[in-house]
A and B are shown apart, each in its own frame.
Chain A
Amino acid sequence: MKYLDEFSDPDLAGHLVEAIHAATTRPWAMMEVCGGQTHSIIRHGIDQLLPEGVEMIHGPGCPVCVTPLEIIDKALAIAAEPGVIFCSFGDMLRVPGSSQDLFVIKSAGADVRVVYSPLDALAIARENPDKQVVFFGIGFETTAPANAMTVYQAKRLGVPNFSLLVSHVLVPPAMAAIMESPRCRVQAFLAAGHVCSVMGTAEYPPLAEKYQVPIVVTGFEPLDILEGIRQTIIQLESGQHELANAYPRAVRAEGNPAAIAMLQDVFEVTDRTWRGIGMIPKSGWRLSERYAAFDAERRFDVAGIRTEESAICRSGEVLQGLIKPNECAAFGKQCTPRNPLGATMVSSEGACAAYHAYRRLDLVSS
């Protein structure tokens, strides 16, 4: 238990770890859906505190990692156009496109700006009426309300030079796709807490029932994750498969009604390709017709982009929990945070980057 003293409350962490060990009689494999949880698990060595045979499978919940290559290439093409200010969250700068990334484009002279919030991009648009300002609107259900409100405001305030390059992805359809895969080993899910803060929990009982898996809504801090694992093991050991909420302080069953209403106005459900995974039906949001005028894909001519993925990168298998990052031959060799071959090596929520940053370096040289 060498990591316990790094927990904010080592006593409580110790009790939770003991409870997990006491409850476990068999091997189990559970998936943490969210990349923030993956980061926390690797950073704090939570997987090494678990009983022999209890495996954490790292899921596809890193929005940076699953944003399709085609959209990255479109972003790069738009950002390189004269008269464009391209705004993005900082995590996207080093995500590899087919041949470049946003950081390289910026170094070559493009006006690429990192913003904290999409509202910052809208403010930039109002300050620069002679420029086209594009915001790179990616993310899961947690981030979508921010992007939705920003487009809503752009329309309401009449900011014609603002547009959104949208590639939102949705968690429940991805969980279903993972369960449908013939190679699936997942027996339970830790669901993504802040996605549920927005959307609530109503989408999960049907999944738990259909696939006979416990689904436990879980937070991101180490103690939250231990509690989520404890509740999951208890369900698995007793043959239950229900929705449980181990993160009630931030998640209500009904979610955030004001945010959900805004999402329904601004977005509509669409099929979406997940980088490394492929197309998942009805797994994304795009702008609804009411907001089509603010769609960067319509404003800029970026159809017909040809993509080329790295031939070596196995991030698709990493994202589906089929291999661990250090099982990829390029991990820590051709592929490092400085020269990432896949998006999972870029984002701090990506499994490859987390393994590289925290303690799996020993596995690189052996």
Chain B
Amino acid sequence: MCLAVPGRILSIAEADGTVMADVDFGGVHKGVCLQYVPDAAIGDYVVVHVGFAIQRLDEKSAQDTLANFERLGILEEEFGDGFSRAAKQAGAES
């Protein structure tokens, strides 16, 4: 849960007075709040934690990290279904 994942801003729109973006995390798209990185623009990479961008990141290191996370299955862990994961833990001995 402390994980922060880099993603690329696809589009920016205002919702209820808040700057929100559609962000691509290696194929997974999520709505992300941009209020804390007011200078971020479409095409920029940002570090996202629980739906909030907390810093900008350069493209190369963002892509390296994403490739790494994908290889290790971390994206699935972060964006997968948290409830079924807990159910699996409760029922299936690892």
Which residues of A come within 8 Å of B, CB atoms? 8, 34-36, 43, 61-64, 89-91, 93-94, 103, 114, 116-120, 139-140, 142-143, 145-146, 149, 153, 156-157, 192, 194, 197-198, 220-221, 249-252, 256, 258-259, 262, 336-338, 346-349, 356-357
Residue contacts A-B, CB under 8 angstroms, 26 given: A8-B64, A8-B71, A36-B3, A90-B83, A93-B86, A94-B86, A103-B86, A103-B87, A114-B82, A116-B82, A117-B50, A118-B50, A119-B31, A139-B2, A143-B2, A143-B49, A145-B54, A146-B33, A146-B49, A149-B36, A156-B17, A220-B3, A221-B68, A258-B37, A259-B54, A337-B93
Among A116, A256, A347, contact of B36 (Cβ-Cβ < 8 Å): A256
> What 4 new A-B contacts, CB under 8 Å, besides A34-B2, A153-B18, A262-B35?
A146-B50, A221-B68, A338-B93, A349-B1
Check A153–B16 contact: CB distance below 8 A: yes
Tell me the interface secondary structure of chain B in the complex: mixed
Check A116–B2 contact: CB distance below 8 A: no
- List residues of chain A with CB within 8 A of the CB of B50: 89, 116-118, 139, 143, 146
How big is chain B's contact interface, by range? 35 or more
- List residues of chain A with CB within 8 A of the CB of B89: 94, 337-338, 346
- List residues of chain B with CB within 8 A of the CB of A348: 77
| Assembled-state Cα–Cα distance A30/B90 (Å) | 34
| Assembled-state Cα–Cα distance A106/B86 (Å) | 11
Q: Does B11 contact A (CB under 8 A)?
A: no
Shortest beta-carbon contacts, A-B, top 3: A90-B82, A117-B51, A114-B82
- List residues of chain B with CB within 8 A of the CB of A356: 94
- List residues of chain A with CB within 8 A of the CB of B79: 116
- List residues of chain A with CB within 8 A of the CB of B64: 8
Interface string of B68-94 (1 = CB under 8 A from A): 100110000101011101110111111
- List residues of chain A with CB within 8 A of the CB of B17: 156
| Assembled-state Cα–Cα distance A347/B47 (Å) | 22
Q: Does B67 contact A (CB under 8 A)?
A: yes
Check A36–B52 contact: CB distance below 8 A: no
